[in-house]
Amino acid sequence: MNSIPFLLPLLGGLTLGLGALWLLYSLGRVAGISGIAWGALAGPDRDWRWRFLAGLLGGGVVTHWLFELPLPAESTAPLGLLISSGLLVGFGTRFGGGCTSGHGVCGIGRRSPRSMIATLLFMVSGMLTVYVIRHVLGGGV
C-alpha cells in the first residue's frame, strides 16, 4: 500500500477531511488547528479543544502502529530558523485568523472568499520563502 504513489496522501486527506466534517456536524466547530490550540490555552470552552488535541496525537500514534509507518526524521533546521518559523506561524495564524486547516480545508469548504484569499497568500508566500532559502541563498533544510 505504501508503494502506490499518491494513495496515502489522498487517503490521508480524505480522513482528515472526515474529521473536520465530524467536528462541524457533532459540535458545530471549525477544525482550525491554530484556533483550537490557542483556545485550548486561552479559553473559553477549553474542554473540547483539549480533547481534540489529545485525539490528534492519539490518531498519530494509532496510525503509525496500524500502518507500520516509519517515523519521519527530525528536522535539521537550526535553532534560529526554528524559533523564527514558530514565531511567524503563531503570530501570522492568529493575526490572519487561520492556518492550513482552518482557512485551507474548512474555510474553502464553506466557500468563504476570505479563506480562499488567505490560502492563496500563504501558499504563495510559503513557496517564495522556500525559493529564496533554497535557490537564492542556497541554504535551509
Count residues binding another protein (CB under 8 A): 107
Looking up cell 494509532, which residue turns up?
62
Dist CA 11 CA 15 (whole Å): 6
Shortest gap between Cβ of 78 and another protein (angstroms)?
Answer: 9
Shortest gap between Cβ of 3 and another protein (angstroms)?
Answer: 14
Shortest gap between Cβ of 80 and another protein (angstroms)?
Answer: 10
Whether residue 98 contacts residue 32, with contact meaning beta carbons closer than 8 Å, is answered with yes
Q: Is 139 in the site for another protein (CB under 8 A)?
A: no
CA separation (Å) from 65 to 24, 34, 59, 70, 73? Answer: 28, 26, 10, 9, 17
Q: Is 113 in the site for another protein (CB under 8 A)?
A: yes
Shortest gap between Cβ of 30 and another protein (angstroms)?
Answer: 6
Site for another protein in 58-97 (CB under 8 A): 58-64, 67, 69, 71-75, 77, 79, 81-97
Q: Is 137 in the site for another protein (CB under 8 A)?
A: no
Backbone angles phi, psi at 5, to 5 degrees: -65, 145
